[in-house]
């Protein structure tokens, strides 16, 4: 009798294995984490254990965000407008992911496509669902009960999380891991997690390497780790959360602005919440302003992204004095990353675009010189320097298909608290009306318009171009 039960279990687990391997061809333990941290640099709950793999948990164990929102309404509202809530249904993500699924060739490329789900729909990956739920699945994206069921991680990169959920199907709240050590017990238990208070939590996902060939794709955590905001002293270190979870309307909370506390309650007092000096905000704002990346009803998040971008960089324009008509005018523009805790831009840097627009006008406003112009189709003048990375495929050709990338061809982004310079030359006509005005603007756009048009077809939208900074100077001749 005992034996037969065992046999049934055994054959069930084999069947289960077959099912889950139908969706995910690769074992994530082969590619996650991408690296371990030395013990002295780890939060107390970064551990040498095995990560959660497909089938370890069931999707029905997790609560939908709306059920967390019943007692955490403010946090729910902020999060609902964020790219985290949209990470799976994001039409731009879906278009690229599905293109990859259709065209990826060979084991390395296919492994890379398995990895997309681990970050963009962590509950879908961990539960090994077959087939994958629809884009509008309520547990898709990076949701409350994913982040707050992370008991530990095992390192940095490619989503090395260990999940310990409750059981929503049986109305058991389980334990939520967070920043407090004195939360009252409610429908769920609460536990302090040092991991959640540090950049290493975000660095689980915000550090992406190709799952097949291990080339670095997104390095936001590593950029931060090696940069000036990670001082090594807990009192002065500025974590991801200090910039991204202090932001709210009017407080961009960047490297160049104040990052004040946000006093309030995590849950209304009648629900058991305590008045606290600081509640971490959940808008998770980056540079995304467009209606593909942001979910519907995210006007506040959109405005905050513009505010964030406007407090990320400054421009310095230097011109030697003493030019005359007929001279060759030379000047220098310096882009300073004053606000971002990582390279500018960071993240999906093969798509992101940052560039300088420069114009010189005469006393009547007539244009004598212009660069960095965008045509009516939305294409940036091809002679313009774009600050981003370029990936190459196995033949050395530039590619935007991350799964077929095997090398990095170039990377000219601006390091945290660092700068980049560009030099310009222009002939001053002999008959010009002085003074001349040099104007320069730093622009940001989430992706090239033609790339979005090709991916989205008729569903394409015109991406906003945000002015991050501008400066100008009059030149008397």
76-135 binders of ligand HEC (CB under 6 A): 76, 79, 83-84, 86-87, 90, 92-93, 96-97, 100, 112-113, 115-116, 118-120, 122
Both structure tokens of 456: 């989205």
> What is the total count of residues that contact ligand HEC (CB under 6 A)?
106
Query: From the CB of 398, what's the least distance to ligand HEC, in Å?
Result: 17
Of 117 and 438, which CB lies nearer to ligand HEC in the complex structure? 117
Name every residue whose Cβ is closer than 8 Å to that of residue 209 and which is 6 or more positions away in sequence.
31, 34, 157, 158, 215, 216, 217
Which of 472, 474, 477 is CA-nearest to residue 333? 472
Query: From the CB of 59, what's the least distance to ligand HEC, in Å?
Result: 13
Binders in 159-188 for ligand HEC, by CB under 6 A: 159, 176, 178-180, 183-184, 186-188
Residues 290-294: contacts with CB under 8 Å, at least 24 apart: 290/446, 290/461, 290/463, 290/464, 291/461, 292/90, 292/91, 292/92, 292/452, 292/456, 292/461, 293/83, 293/86, 293/90, 293/92, 293/446, 294/81, 294/82, 294/83, 294/86
Both structure tokens of 127: 């539960």
Pick one of 51, 57, 163, 205: the residue that binds ligand HEC (CB under 6 A): 205
Binding mask 407-446 for ligand HEC (x = CB under 6 A): ---------------------------------------x
Of 154 and 288, which CB lies nearer to ligand HEC in the complex structure? 288
Both structure tokens of 224: 């931060």
Binders in 22-81 for ligand HEC, by CB under 6 A: 63, 65, 67-72, 75-76, 79
Of 43 and 55, which CB lies nearer to ligand HEC in the complex structure? 43
- The total of other beta-carbon atoms located within 10 Å of residue 371's CB is 19
Query: From the CB of 10, what's the least distance to ligand HEC, in Å?
Result: 32
Burial class (CB in 10 A: 0-12, 13-18, 19+), 270: exposed
Binding mask 247-286 for ligand HEC (x = CB under 6 A): -------xx----------xx---xxxx-x--xx-x-xxx
Binders in 290-349 for ligand HEC, by CB under 6 A: 292-293, 308-309, 312, 339-342, 344-348
């Amino acid at each position: 009798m005992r034996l037969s039960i065992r046999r049934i279990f055994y054959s069930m687990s084999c069947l289960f294995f077959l099912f889950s391997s139908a969706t995910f061809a690769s074992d994530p333990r082969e590619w996650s984490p991408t690296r371990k941290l030395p013990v002295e640099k780890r939060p107390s709950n970064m551990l040498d254990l095995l990560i959660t793999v497909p089938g370890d948990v069931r999707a029905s164990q997790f609560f939908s965000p709306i059920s967390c929102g019943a007692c955490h309404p403010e946090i729910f509202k902020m999060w609902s407008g964020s790219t985290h809530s949209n990470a799976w249904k994001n039409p731009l993500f879906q278009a690229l992911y599905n293109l990859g699924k259709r065209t990826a060739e060979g084991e390395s490329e296919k492994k890379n496509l398995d990895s997309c789900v681990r970050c963009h729909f962590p509950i879908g990956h961990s539960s090994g669902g077959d087939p994958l739920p629809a884009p509008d699945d309520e547990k898709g994206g990076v949701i409350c009960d994913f982040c707050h069921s992370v008991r530990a991680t095992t390192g940095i990169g490619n989503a090395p999380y260990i999940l310990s959920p409750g059981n929503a199907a049986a109305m058991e709240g389980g334990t939520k891991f967070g920043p407090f050590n004195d939360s009252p017990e409610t429908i769920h238990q609460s536990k302090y997690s040092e991991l959640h208070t540090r950049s290493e939590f975000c660095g689980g996902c915000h550090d992406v390497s190709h799952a097949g060939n291990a080339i670095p794709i997104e390095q936001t955590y590593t950029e931060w780790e090696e940069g000036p905001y990670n001082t090594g002293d807990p009192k002065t270190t500025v974590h991801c959360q200090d910039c991204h979870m202090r932001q709210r309307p009017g407080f961009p909370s960047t490297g160049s602005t104040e990052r004040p506390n946000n006093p309030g309650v995590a849950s209304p007092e009648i629900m058991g919440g305590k008045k606290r000096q600081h509640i971490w905000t959940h808008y998770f704002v980056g540079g995304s302003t467009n209606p593909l990346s942001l979910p519907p009803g995210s006007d506040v998040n959109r405005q905050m992204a513009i505010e964030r971008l406007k407090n990320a960089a400054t421009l310095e324009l230097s011109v030697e004095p003493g030019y005359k008509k007929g001279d060759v005018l030379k000047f220098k523009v310096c882009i300073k990353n004053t606000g971002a805790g990582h390279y500018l831009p960071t993240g999906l840097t093969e798509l992101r675009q940052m560039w300088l627009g420069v114009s010189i006008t005469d006393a009547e406003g007539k244009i004598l010189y212009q660069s960095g112009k965008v045509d009516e189709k939305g294409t940036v003048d091809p002679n313009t320097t774009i600050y981003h990375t370029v990936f190459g495929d196995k033949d050395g050709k530039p590619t935007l298909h991350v799964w077929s990338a095997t090398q990095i061809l170039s990377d000219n982004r601006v390091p945290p608290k660092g700068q980049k310079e560009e030099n310009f030359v222009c002939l001053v006509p002999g008959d010009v009306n002085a003074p001349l005005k040099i104007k320069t603007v730093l622009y940001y756009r989430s992706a090239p318009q033609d790339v979005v048009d090709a991916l989205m077809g008729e569903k394409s939208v015109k991406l906003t171009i945000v002015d991050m900074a501008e400066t100008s100077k009059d030149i008397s001749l």
